[in-house]
Amino acid sequence: MFERFIARRFLSHRRGSFSAPLVRIATYSIALGVLVMTMSVSILQGFQKAISDKVVGFGSHIVVKSYDVGNLYEETPIVTDLNEIADLESLPGVKQVQYYATKGGMVKTDNQIHGIVMKGTSRDYDLSFFEENLVRGRLFDMSDSVAKNEVIISQTIARKLGLDTASKMRTYFWQGEGYRARAFTVVGIYSTDLTEFDEHYVIGDLRHLQKLNGWSESEVGGYEILVDDFGRLDAIAQAVGETVNYDKTVTTVVEENQTLFSWLELLNSNIVLIICVMAMVCIVSVVSALLIMIFEKTSMIGVLKTLGASNAAVRRIFLIKSVRITGVGILTGTALAVGLCLLQHFFRIVKLDSESYSVGYMPVDLSPWIFIAIAAGTIVACTVALLLPAAYISRVEPAKTIRFE
């Protein structure tokens, strides 16, 4: 097509051309805009995912427990129903069903007293989250037929109470009007940077809590259900609610941590604001470059029209050049964003205050759809925005421009 030839040959911006520096500025502006948009979405999505994964790691996506919640320190048990468990595991989207129980108490040392919540887990419980976040030591052993007095505690609790691996931890659990004492051995110390959870949670064998509460082996505090798609959480929770018996209640991780997830949801408004602002920067840059090219090449437009070129053909010449400028900027910005995200993902160069952000480093989401969506959205928005200034070409009169030259 002759439009492409003209765009490549006669709209090239050599040194000394009036529009050359403006075209470079437009290219750099688009690259910067794409870089900022992509990095912003990647960082905020990564941050949301990192916090969500940590909250789910302490529990699960969906919790099933008794309607009778009891009091603050004692759960009302539910009896495990193998048929019910089988029905739950067969639901679409359900990845795993596991048992748990919790009990409030306090740990006493020679100098400190600290309130804790002990969470007991079953043998088939997925402890990979705690294993990944172990600072030192190991997970507690559940291989024997009799529960061992082993627990893992958070680094926060360890520092407050002066405990370490192999330390004995004297724990008092509230039981009715009194309390019951147990001595545990700390075999591992974890750190998740979620202060609200690290402050209190001690993880151990479910059988300890069953024995403390006087429960049978079939009685547990509740079921925890892991799903394979967080986006379908509400739909899966509804299906779970329709499956379990009427004496049980079903809650999701979002419902149990409404404040935290509401805060994460607010971050989406920041993403929208950043994308809107940087998209406007890209649009203004490429439109400005197009207008400058049109003004500079007015005489060429007149000559082309005199030779029989239609307004549509001339518009396509300038649109092709503008889209190329946009494409170079998008490719440059996307390449820089991918490089920076990979550096941060593998080397964690940028650190964060874990007490303020619940993450010790700046997480990034490397989903390719983020980079593709930003690039595609930018080129579509810029191309649509170019249609209006390109319409100015139809107002150029060949007789006047040639006589002026």
Domain holding 391, by residue range, is 2-54+261-404
The confidence score (pLDDT) of residue 313 equals: 80
10 within some domain: yes
253 within some domain: no
Looking at the structure, do residues 390 and 343 belong to the same domain, yes or no?
Answer: yes
Looking at the structure, do residues 240 and 268 belong to the same domain, yes or no?
Answer: no
- Would you say 359 and 46 are in contact if contact means Cβ atoms under 8 Å apart? no
Looking at the structure, do residues 33 and 182 belong to the same domain, yes or no?
Answer: no
The confidence score (pLDDT) of residue 7 equals: 65
* Closest listed residue to residue 153, CA positions, set 111, 105, 189, 99: 189
Tokens of 154: 């958070």
Q: Which residues are within 8 A (CB) of 84 and not within 5 positions of it... i.e. 6 or more apart?
A: 243, 244, 245
- Would you say 195 and 358 are in contact if contact means Cβ atoms under 8 Å apart? yes
Q: Alpha-carbon distance 219 to 77, whole Å? A: 6
Residue type present at position 250:
V
252 within some domain: no
Q: Where a domain ends, among 215, 246, 277?
A: 246
The confidence score (pLDDT) of residue 404 equals: 47
255 within some domain: no
- Would you say 337 and 35 are in contact if contact means Cβ atoms under 8 Å apart? yes
Vertex 131 angle, CA 73 and 353, to 5°: 80
pLDDT tens digits along 54-109: 999 998 999 999 987 665 557 889 999 999 999 999 999 999 999 999 998 999 99
Which regions of the chain are under pLDDT 70?
1-2, 4-19, 69-73, 394-405
Q: Alpha-carbon distance 150 to 379, whole Å? A: 58
* Closest listed residue to residue 235, CA positions, set 385, 91, 383, 349: 91
- Would you say 125 and 100 are in contact if contact means Cβ atoms under 8 Å apart? yes
Q: Report pTM.
A: 0.85
Looking at the structure, do residues 191 and 296 belong to the same domain, yes or no?
Answer: no
Q: Where a domain ends, among 213, 246, 279?
A: 246
Looking at the structure, do residues 217 and 80 belong to the same domain, yes or no?
Answer: yes
Looking at the structure, do residues 216 and 305 belong to the same domain, yes or no?
Answer: no
389 within some domain: yes
Cα dihedral across residues 223, 224, 226, 232: positive or negative: positive
The confidence score (pLDDT) of residue 394 equals: 61
The confidence score (pLDDT) of residue 2 equals: 64
212 within some domain: yes
Burial class of residue 243 (count of CB atoms within 10 Å of its CB; 0-12, 13-18, 19+): middle
Burial class of residue 348 (count of CB atoms within 10 Å of its CB; 0-12, 13-18, 19+): middle
61 within some domain: no
The confidence score (pLDDT) of residue 319 equals: 85
Looking at the structure, do residues 276 and 242 belong to the same domain, yes or no?
Answer: no
What's the N-to-C CA distance of the chain in angstroms? Answer: 27
Report in angstroms the alpha-carbon separations of 167 from 8, 131, 263.
75, 19, 38
Looking at the structure, do residues 221 and 329 belong to the same domain, yes or no?
Answer: no
Looking at the structure, do residues 72 and 47 belong to the same domain, yes or no?
Answer: no
Per the structure, the count of domains in the chain is 2
Residue type present at position 111:
N
Looking at the structure, do residues 46 and 167 belong to the same domain, yes or no?
Answer: no
Looking at the structure, do residues 201 and 305 belong to the same domain, yes or no?
Answer: no
Q: Where a domain ends, among 246, 272, 306?
A: 246
The confidence score (pLDDT) of residue 83 equals: 94
Tally of CB atoms within 10 A around 288: 16
60 within some domain: no
Looking at the structure, do residues 217 and 79 belong to the same domain, yes or no?
Answer: yes
The confidence score (pLDDT) of residue 400 equals: 56
